[in-house]
Amino acid sequence: MTVAGMNGPHVVLLATGGTIASRAPETGGGAVASDAGDQVLMSLGVPSPYPVRVVDVFRKGSYLLTVDDMIAVCVRIKDALADPLVLGVVVTHGTDTMEETSYLVDLTHDDPRPVVFTGAQRAADSPDPDGPGNLARAVAVAGAPEARGAGVLIVFAGEVFPAGGVRKSQTTKPNAFANPDFGSAGSVSAAGEVRMGRPPVRMEALTLPGPAAGSPRVDLVASYPGADATLLRAALGAGAAGIVLQGTGIGNANPLLCAGISEATRAGIVVVTSTRVDAGPVVPVYGAGGGADLRSAGAIPSGLLRPSQALVLLSLLLRIGTSGTRIAEVFALRGGSRLLPAGPGAT
């Protein structure tokens, strides 16, 4: 059920749009986010596992979101958790940038109650929408005692993933997400039975910037065969305060990009090196413009963070006025291999 105020334990649903709220216009054209949160909740067609209070944040496809929009979601989550009767929070969100928003929330989340992101791969008006099933499972996880202390999670197709390290791995299939380095955090059945594994490693929350923090520009620049520093210099010319380099392999580029990055870091621009490879850490090994030379040029390795989440972390750190030295320390900590799940026999 959904009501304006509740006198007992409940889950808060923050609706932001996405495919789970999308329908094709009667006049024709592509699907757009159009359903309000109450409509999304009513799509369940069965009683919710817990009482639900709905809050509409905005109604957008997540491919349209800005960092400021993502910060607004963080603020609404903190507002919801100010109520001690709230068991947890569900955020319905488009899948395109769910990995970014959920990670920003994870970086700034300082409450033991879970925040659960979910959405859909098929629109609300499709013959067989997957949103209602995902939402029912997400509400079950948000209210479950087993999920307390697990931080920020993504629930999709019955799988529960930690937000850190998650990425969209399928464009259309129902099992939209994967977390190659950190794995699954648990599962939830269609009947709402929640099973959680070992909780993700939790770190001290970072500061959530206020409206006066400004919006430092952070751009993503890719290395590829034949790349030079043209796009890098264009980003710097546009005022970028930070750059995330999407390297190849274990975080490599070439001499032209490396020279441009050296110029950028000498000018005080923060550069972080990530990789286009699906799993494994960024490791500075190679010369001739490779990762070892990039590190010598002042670039910070992202560790296990892929470009999407490295960009979110760098944007947040720049907004809260973090020094370059401290930014390197934070990336070493939050992208470090010590966060990986322990193997068999580990202590």
pTM for this entry: 0.94
What are the structure tokens assigned to 244, written together? 């995330």
10-196 and 211-338, same CATH topology: yes
Q: 5 pLDDT band (50/70/90 cuts)? A: low
Spatial CB neighbours of 57, under 8 Å, sequence gap ≥ 6: 14, 15, 16, 72, 73, 76
Spatial CB neighbours of 328, under 8 Å, sequence gap ≥ 6: 300
Q: For the residues 262-278, what does the mean pLDDT come to?
A: 97
Q: Where does the chain have alpha helices with state H?
A: 37-42, 67-81, 98-108, 131-143, 230-237, 255-266, 291-296, 307-319, 324-334
Torsion angle of the four alpha carbons 32, 33, 34, 35, in this order, in degrees rounded to the nearest 10:
140
Chain Cα centroid distance, residue 232: 24
Chain Cα centroid distance, residue 162: 10
Domain 211-338: state its class. alpha beta
Torsion angle of the four alpha carbons 142, 173, 47, 186, in this order, in degrees rounded to the nearest 10:
-30
pLDDT value, residue 27: 85
pLDDT value, residue 26: 83
SS3 state of residue 19 = helix
Q: 340 pLDDT band (50/70/90 cuts)? A: low
pLDDT value, residue 2: 44
Active site residues: 19
DSSP string, 248-260: BTTTB--HHHHHH
pLDDT tens digits, residue range 6-57?
789 999 999 999 999 999 998 888 999 999 999 999 999 888 999 999 999 9
The CATH code belonging to domain 10-196 is 3.40.50.1170
pLDDT tens digits, residue range 295-305?
999 999 999 99
Tokens 């999304």 appear where? 40
pLDDT tens digits, residue range 208-264?
998 666 789 999 999 999 999 999 999 999 999 999 999 999 999 999 999 999 999
Please say whether the beta carbons of 215 and 238 come within 8 A.
no
Report how far residue 185's alpha carbon sits from residue 181's, in angstroms, rounded to the nearest whole number: 12
Residue 338 clears pLDDT 80, i.e. is over it: no
pLDDT value, residue 201: 80
pLDDT tens digits, residue range 64-94?
999 999 999 999 999 999 999 999 999 999 9
DSSP string, 69-112: HHHHHHHHHHHHHTSTTEEEEEEE--STTHHHHHHHHHHH---S
Q: 3 pLDDT band (50/70/90 cuts)? A: very low
Residue 344 clears pLDDT 50, i.e. is over it: no
214 against 327, higher pLDDT: 327
What percent of the chain lies above the pLDDT cut of 90? 89
Q: For the residues 270-291, what does the mean pLDDT come to?
A: 97
Residue 145 clears pLDDT 70, i.e. is over it: yes
pLDDT value, residue 30: 93
101: nearest Cα among 135, 65, 51, 125: 65
331: nearest Cα among 263, 274, 269, 253: 274
The ranges assigned to domains in the chain are 10-196, 211-338
pLDDT value, residue 336: 83
Please say whether the beta carbons of 91 and 115 come within 8 A.
yes
Residue 116 bridge partners (DSSP): 90, 153
Q: What is the mean pLDDT of the chain?
A: 93
